[in-house]
Amino acid sequence: MKKDDSYDRGRAMRLEMFGEPGVATLDKTDDFNEPLQDLVTRMCFGDVWSRPELDRKTRSMLTIALLIGQSRPDQLKNHINGALANGVTKDEIREILLHATIYVGLPAGSDSWRHAREALQAAGAY
């Protein structure tokens, strides 16, 4: 990976939000998954998440809602951890789940409640 400001910002943000596990994947990249990790680090965290127009807490809340709608449990759990680091509370996560469930439907919403509880319990925030 060619390192630059965008990469450095993205790596730092991944570390702040997700701790060492958030950057461990970067340290273990190989020739197959390196393009994906570079894309996520630069574009997702180094460029988009770093924009000043929305704070990290707001971005975390939006990301949780979107992941509920997409029924992405692994990413939801990961981003709940990041959201906690970004100041989102358990009560706010509950309200996001409730609100999203109405709009995305009961199957995706109901599963997300279970996955969110698991993530909150694992983080000691339940």
- Does residue 1 register a pLDDT over 80? no
Q: Quick check: pTM over 0.85?
A: yes
The three-state secondary structure class of 2 is: coil
| Spans of all domains in the chain | 5-48, 56-122
* pLDDT band per the 50, 70, 90 thresholds, residue 2: low
Taking residues 25-34, report their average pLDDT. 92
Q: 114 exposed, middle or buried (CB, 10 Å; 0-12, 13-18, 19+)?
A: exposed
For residue 80, the model assigns a pLDDT of: 98
Cβ atoms of 59 and 49 within 8 Å: the answer is: yes
* pLDDT band per the 50, 70, 90 thresholds, residue 40: very high
Which of the following CATH numbers is that of domain 56-122: 3.90.550.10, 3.60.15.10, 1.20.1290.10, 1.10.287.950? Answer: 1.20.1290.10
For residue 25, the model assigns a pLDDT of: 87
- Does residue 98 register a pLDDT over 70? yes
Cβ atoms of 39 and 8 within 8 Å: the answer is: no
